[in-house]
Amino acid sequence: MKRILLAVSGLSPAVITETIYALFMEKKPVDELHVITTGGGKGKLLETVLSPYEGKLQALIDEYEMPPIDYNPQTNLHVLKDANGKEINDILTPDDNEILLTKCLQLTHEMTTRKDTTVYFLVAGGRKTMTSCLALAAQFYGRPRDRIYHVLIAPSEVERAKSTKTDRSFWYPPKEKQKYSYTDFTDGKVRTINSKDIQVNLINLPYVPARYFLSEQLMDEVKQPADLLAGLIRDEKPALTISLSERKLIFGSMLEAELTHPTWLALYTFFAVKKQECILDESCDNCEKKICFLDFNEISSSDSDIQSIRQMILKKFEEIPDEFPSVYKSFKKEASFNPAKHKINEIILNAFGQSIAPALQISDAPIPLSARTGKRTKKFGILLDRERITIEWKADKEVGTE
């Protein structure tokens, strides 16, 4: 998996080295850096961060012995140009802004179409219009594993600080402690700070990936934001399909989770069946009364149902997989149910992201204290509306559809 950092950069390119440093510290080393910039920003970048001589990025890589980063300015520096191919020096007019937004959408679409990438969008360091355009592109095309980051330095005055020893500006915390002097904004006095006291904070901005609510057709090529927005409004609520032959959960038209373990798939399908059988009169979204939820005793006594679903799934294997531990096959005991539920929920979270996963996971709901045993118990089930769940029992190919 390649980690790509996509940044917009105006005249303060230090955010790039600061972010690469912070990601490295979080054990997320960047493999490729791409920067969208203006004619004005390009000069500044080539003199500093991306300079072939004494480049700040290469210095950072060397100093911390990071794995190599592809930042070749020939291919990875994306300078905005007008219709005549002339570089735009600054984003000043609505036309400039449209060119910028198109570039952000184009690159984001390209990078998120690649299956082997994780994209980190850096929304710090450019003009506000630049960072907003990149954030918008990320909202449309980003996948749950991609991230939008902002980077903050504390104290913030350090952005303009100089090393007292070498007169070097601050680009990232040096490996060996150094003192920096800076002008305090509050009283205008010059102060010094030790580099170990400078904090580089990476802020992970939450976002809802919109791509899974868009139709496949809209995702095929880069579209204008207006079309994308219209697509969001027009599209109906995405549904969940459980494909037993492909051993996948499919949500909407784009998003998939592989649930390859037959036992886990059987357990999840069992809950989906219970959901579909919900006898509630009104909408079963969130199922107010949790009629389609089961407590552990009910799950345990339904173990034979789960086992017959499992057998049905196993028939779809060309070879019976034997690597699965036998202890998990039966759900008569809570000790086998809990780890399976945990694993299924983890797979769903990783594939669908935090905004969608809760509706699809096996949730639990507390039920009132049992008068008889005095024990507090829980019921388990799926929150998504039964109308939006389909289980494909047959292989698609057998019924001749795609």
Residues that bind Zn ion (CB under 5 A): 278, 280, 284, 287, 291-292
Residue closer to Zn ion, measured from CB, 11 or 280: 280
Token output for 200: 């580089």
| Least gap, CB of 284 to Zn ion (angstroms) | 4
Cα gap 69→290, rounded to integer Å: 51
In this complex, which beta carbon is closest to Zn ion, that of residue 311 or of residue 390? 390
* Minimum CB distance to Zn ion smaller for 16 or for 284: 284
Nearest distance, CB of residue 381 and Zn ion, angstroms: 7
Closer residue to Zn ion in complex, CB, 55/381: 381
CB of 214 to Zn ion, least distance (A): 29
Q: In whole angstroms, how close is the CB of 298 to Zn ion at the nearest point?
A: 14
Nearer to Zn ion (CB atom), residue 198 or residue 287? 287
Strands 294-295 and 377-382: antiparallel
C-beta of 109 vs 275, nearer to Zn ion: 275
The structure tokens listed for 133 are 């355009």
Q: Report in angstroms how near the CB of residue 242 gets to Zn ion at its nearest.
A: 17
Name the minimum Å distance from CB 292 to Zn ion.
3
